[in-house]
Amino acid sequence: MSDISRRILTFLLFFAAVTFPCVVIYQAASSYQLLPQSSPILIDPSIFIANVTNNISYLATEEVSLERVLKDAAMDDGTVILTTLNEAWAAPDSIFDLFLESFRIGDHTRRLLNHLVIIALDGKAYTRCLAVHTHCFALTTEGLDFSKEAYFMSPHYLKMMWRRIDFLRSVLEMGYNFVFTDADIMWFRDPFPRFYSEADFQIACDSFWGNSYDLNNRPNGGFNYVKSNNQTIEFYKFWYSSRETHPGYHDQDVLNMIKHDPRIAEIGLTMRFLNTAYFGGLCEPSRNLNRVCTMHANCCYGLDSKLHDLRIMLEDWRKYMALPFPYKKLSFSSWRVPQKCSLASLRHYSSPPKDVHNEKEE
């Protein structure tokens, strides 16, 4: 039982000790006026204790259930792959189906589905997950409905993004490493060989400037690999608390603001930025299909636009995979996207030099 559960149990037992005698006295007084003295009203203490126990069980259910799901999905080193899903993206033939399809047709990615946990933000998304996937967890937030499409930078969107950061902190506290991936990221190759072994926190970029240590890289919160340790737990607490220092901004913008903060060095966090040559997106596509691991439908506004370009992206990958091996190495293939996704409307910074992608960083 967690510390929170113990504190709740202590409070409820104290409450029961004080309340139960008062209830008995009140009922006895009422019965004296309304009923013959030979017909007293008796209260079974086991009923009250059962209610207390049920409340404790209810409060602990989410923690226990998450622990079970994570344990079932974890790799040998305690790493899980996480994504969040709501009703808008979970509908048949929507983002979720394309996301799962990318694992199935990717190069050595199908096996990674065994370690993928879907965090459903509403009932319909959870039901859909249970119908098509093994590892599902229902994450509910009292007073908030995350079922509909959350438009970029709307209040609803901001609440959803910050709820995600707080949840990921809890996963780290439970001792699990994770790769977090947005569901609009297509997995075409196993990314683990491209991760930095010494980094605590590594994150994909909208714009990568050629050096994985360069804090001027523009991070994208939709894809990151995080190890569970004291440094990352404190970092996520700091990141989440910084929403109050920078109100009205989403998690990605706040990360861009705090990445220079001296608090990061105090925590001792090792941060690295992932090369878009391997972890690309519509902001800055991975041009070489022989190197790409993931592609993100970032720099794209609206569900319909994302779906359109993601479907084309999967078609391009299928054509590439169908090529004879020698032709793959020649790398004639290229993405036909973005199409409906507009870069100009979302890009507020200049592109890195064109030769960045030709730099091989190991």
Q: What is the pLDDT of residues 32-44, one digit of tens each?
A: 343 333 333 343 4
Q: What is the pLDDT of residues 232-287, one digit of tens each?
A: 999 999 999 999 999 888 889 999 999 999 999 999 999 999 999 999 999 999 98
DSSP 203-258: EEEEE--S-TT-TTSEEEEEEEEE--SHHHHHHHHHHHHHHHHSTT--HHHHHHHH
pLDDT interval class at 23 (50, 70, 90)? very low
Q: Distance (Å, rounded) from C-alpha 102 to C-alpha 104?
A: 5
Cα dihedral sign for 35, 36, 39, 41?
positive
Domain count of the chain? 1
Q: Is residue 13 part of a domain?
A: no
Q: At what angle do helices 251-258 and 230-245 cross, to 10 degrees?
A: 110
Q: Is residue 160 part of a domain?
A: yes
Q: Is residue 157 part of a domain?
A: yes
Q: Distance (Å, rounded) from C-alpha 94 to C-alpha 88?
A: 8
Q: Is residue 110 part of a domain?
A: yes
Mean pLDDT of the chain: 81
> Using only C-alpha atoms, what is the Rg of the chain?
25
Q: Is residue 11 part of a domain?
A: no
What CATH number is attached to the domain comprising 199?
3.90.550.10
Q: Is residue 218 part of a domain?
A: yes
The per-residue pLDDT for 17 is 58
Q: Distance (Å, rounded) from C-alpha 75 to C-alpha 262?
A: 34
Q: Is residue 334 part of a domain?
A: yes
Structure tokens, 81: 């792959």
DSSP 107: B
Residue 119, domain extent: 56-346
Candidate from 145-149, 163-167, 237-241 with smallest mean pLDDT = 145-149
Strand partners, 294: 187, 279
| HEC per residue, 10-46 | HHHHHHHHHHHHHHHHHHHHHHHHHCCCCCCCCCCHH
What is this structure's pTM? 0.77
Q: Is residue 216 part of a domain?
A: yes
Q: Distance (Å, rounded) from C-alpha 164 to C-alpha 83?
A: 10
Mean pLDDT of 63-73: 91
C-alpha distances out from residue 284 to 152, 159, 333, Å:
19, 27, 17
Mean pLDDT of 67-74: 97
